[in-house]
Amino acid sequence: MQELAFKYKKAYMIVFKFGGASVQDAERVRSAERILRLHTGQKIMVVISAMGKTTNALEEVAVAFFKGNRQEALDLFHAVRDNHLEMASRLLLKELPAARERLSSFFTEVEWLLHDRPVRGYDYYYDQIVCIGELLSTAIVHAYLKEQGHLAEWMDVRDIIRTDDHFRDAGIDWTVTAQQTASGVLPLFRTVDIVVTQGFIGSTDENESTTLGREGSDYSAAVFANLLDAENLTIWKDVEGVMSADPKLVPEAVRISELDYSEIIEMAYYGAQVIHPKTIKPLQNKKIKLLVKCFSDPSLPGTVIHEQRPSGLPPIIVWKHAQALLHLHSKDFSFVGEQPMAKLYGILDKLKLKPNLIQSGAVSVQLCLDEHPEKIDRLCLSAADIFDVEVEKGLSLLTIRHYSEDVIQRHAGGRNRILSQQTPETVQMLFRK
C-alpha cells in the first residue's frame, strides 16, 4: 500500500467533478467523455452529481412517500426511472445490458422501500431515496466510458465515504474514510485509469445511505482530492470560470483568472453562487489547486484557486434579493447586552438561520436574512420574548468586495439605501425597491 500510494501521488492523480448540468443529457455525457479523452494517460477520479434536476425529482418522491401517498411516490419514481433508462439506451450499445442490470438493482432498492410504510424520520427516508440519483448517473456515465474504450471502474462511494447518521447533512468520518480510500480506491487505479463515483452521498457504519447537504458533490470531490493527495481538482461548470458577478444580473461581470482560497470562501459567505463553501478546507489543508473550468469549451483558461493571494482582484459584486430585515428593539430601553444577544444567537442556531448582515446599537439590533417565510415567522415569534419586533420584507442586499467609491456609485447610486456596513475590504448595502 505504501508503495502504491507513493506511485500515484501528486503528478499522477487528478480529480474531476461534473455537476448535474454537465451530465443532464446524452450530448453532455458525450462532451464529458471528450474532456476525459483529452486527459488520457492520467489517473483520474471522476466525481459526478445526479443528472439535471433528478435530485429535485427524488425529493418529491421522498415527500410523497413520507405523506403516505404510495402510488404518487411510485409514479414520480417511475418517471425518474424511465428518464434514466432512456438515457442509457441513447448512449449505450454493447454496455447496455450490464448498465441496465446495475440500474435495475437501484430501482428495486427504492421500489422496495416505497412499498413500506414510513416508521422513521423524514430525513432518513430522504437520504435513502435521494442518494439513488448519483448512483444512477454514475452507472450510465461509467458504462458510456467503457463503451468508448476507456479503462474505467465504477465505485459505490458508500463503501468508502463513512459518515455519521446526521441524515441530510451528514458529517464525514475522516479516519475511516481515509482508511477505506487507501484500501478501496487506490488499488483500483492499478488496473484502470478512471474511477467513476458519486458525489454528495456516503454511508453510516450501519450501511444506511446519507447525503452531505444539497450541492454537496463539490465537497465530495475535495475530500477525495485531499485523501488521494491529488495534484489538483477540476470542477467543470457551465460558466467560463469564477465570475466577478452573476452575468445575468451584472452585464460587466468578468472572469477572474486567479483567486486565493480565502477569497473564494468570502465570496461564498456573501452569497456568490460559486462553489460549495465546505469544498475549500480539504484542499487548503494540502494546498491542492482548485481549477474551475468551462465544460462547453475546455480550451478556455478558467479560474485557478490556490494559496497565494493574487494582486489586484477586480470588484466582486453579489446581489441577494428577497431579503427580510428584522428590527429588534429592547423592551423598556435597556441596553442590548450579552444575554439577549446570546439568546438571539441561540434562536438563530436552532432555526438554522444565518443572518447576511447584523448591525447592533445600544438599544436595538437589526438583522438581514434570506426571506424564508416560515422560518422568519418562527424567528419573529421567538424573538418577541426578548425584543419588540418589526419586520420588513422584499429588500435587496448588495455586497461589493474590493470596492471603490466609483464602483459603489455605479451599482448603488440612485437607489433607496436603508442600511450599510463597511470594512476596508467589503461594503454591504440594503435597498428598498
- 20 makes contact with Mg ion (CB under 5 A): yes
Q: What is the CA radius of gyration of the chain?
A: 24
Q: State the nearest-atom distance from the C-beta of 250 to ligand ASP, in Å.
A: 25
DSSP per residue, 400-432: EES--HHHHHHHHTTSEEEEEEE-SSEEEEEEE
- 202 makes contact with ligand ASP (CB under 6 A): no
Q: Which is nearer to ligand ASP, 199 or 202 (CB)?
A: 199
- 55 makes contact with ligand ASP (CB under 6 A): yes
Q: State the nearest-atom distance from the C-beta of 58 to ligand ASP, in Å.
A: 9
Residue 198 interacting partner from Mg ion, ligand ASP, none (CB closer than 5 to 8 Å by kind): none
- 52 makes contact with Mg ion (CB under 5 A): no
Q: Which residues between 363 and 392 bind ligand ASP (CB under 6 A)? A: none
Separation between Cα atoms, residue 184 and residue 180, nearest integer Å: 5
CB 319 within 8 A of CB 383: no
Q: State the nearest-atom distance from the C-beta of 50 to Mg ion, in Å.
A: 8
Separation between Cα atoms, residue 91 and residue 175, nearest integer Å: 38
Q: Which is nearer to ligand ASP, 55 or 399 (CB)?
A: 55
Task: Report the largest interatomic distance among the alpha carbons of the chain, rounded to a whole angstrom.
Answer: 77
Q: Which residues between 94 and 133 bind ligand ASP (CB under 6 A)? A: 133
Q: Enumerate residues 6+ apart whose C-beta is below 8 A from 112.
A: none
Q: Which is nearer to ligand ASP, 21 or 250 (CB)?
A: 21
Separation between Cα atoms, residue 131 and residue 59, nearest integer Å: 10
- Please report where in the chains the cell 471522476 appears, as a residue: 46
Residue 208 interacting partner from Mg ion, ligand ASP, none (CB closer than 5 to 8 Å by kind): none
Q: State the nearest-atom distance from the C-beta of 99 to ligand ASP, in Å.
A: 20
Separation between Cα atoms, residue 158 and residue 201, nearest integer Å: 7
Q: Which is nearer to ligand ASP, 24 or 49 (CB)?
A: 49
- 52 makes contact with ligand ASP (CB under 6 A): no
Q: Which residues between 217 and 276 bind ligand ASP (CB under 6 A)? A: 217
Residue 68 identity (one-letter amino acid): G
Residue 103 interacting partner from Mg ion, ligand ASP, none (CB closer than 5 to 8 Å by kind): none
Cα distance from N-terminal residue to C-terminal residue, the chain: 62
Q: Which is nearer to ligand ASP, 55 or 209 (CB)?
A: 55
- 302 makes contact with ligand ASP (CB under 6 A): no
Number of residues that bind ligand ASP (CB under 6 A): 12
Q: Which residues between 13 and 32 bind ligand ASP (CB under 6 A)? A: 19-20
What grid cell was written down for 143?
458504462
- Phi and psi at 110, nearest 5°, equal -70, -45
Q: Enumerate residues 6+ apart whose C-beta is below 8 A from 170.
A: 127, 163, 164, 202, 204, 210, 211, 212
- 199 makes contact with ligand ASP (CB under 6 A): yes
Please give the residue ranges that form the binding site for ligand ASP (CB under 6 A).
Answer: 19-20, 49-50, 55, 133, 199-200, 214-217
